[in-house]
Amino acid sequence: MKEATGELSNTVITVVAIAAILSLFTVFLYPSLKAAIRARTYCQSSVQCGDCDGNKMECHYYNDDMSVSEDTIMCDCETNE
């Protein structure tokens, strides 16, 4: 019976550790990864860009329905050259 209790405790500890790691990923890493992927995707199809200010410029991008967005995104100057 002691072995079964020990194995159950190890399983619970493992499940809690995996849940903690996944929650940290979801809270801290996923939003920044999502923003980076979004920025790279939108900058590749950017339109109506402003002047290059240092190494960044403000651009509009196409929405899913192929209309130009009202929002802007900051892109590298080399992206749209």
Does the pTM exceed 0.85?
A: no
Contact between 53 and 74 (Cβ < 8 Å): no
Q: What is the pLDDT of residue 37?
A: 87
Dihedral, CA atoms, 67, 73, 77, 80, nearest 10 degrees?
-20
Q: What is the pLDDT of residue 49?
A: 80
Contact between 50 and 58 (Cβ < 8 Å): yes
Does position 3 have pLDDT exceeding 70, yes or no?
no
- Per-residue pLDDT tens digits for 19-38: 999 999 999 999 989 888 88
Confidence grade of residue 4 (pLDDT, cut at 50, 70, 90): low
Which CB contacts under 8 angstroms, 24+ apart, belong to 26-33? none
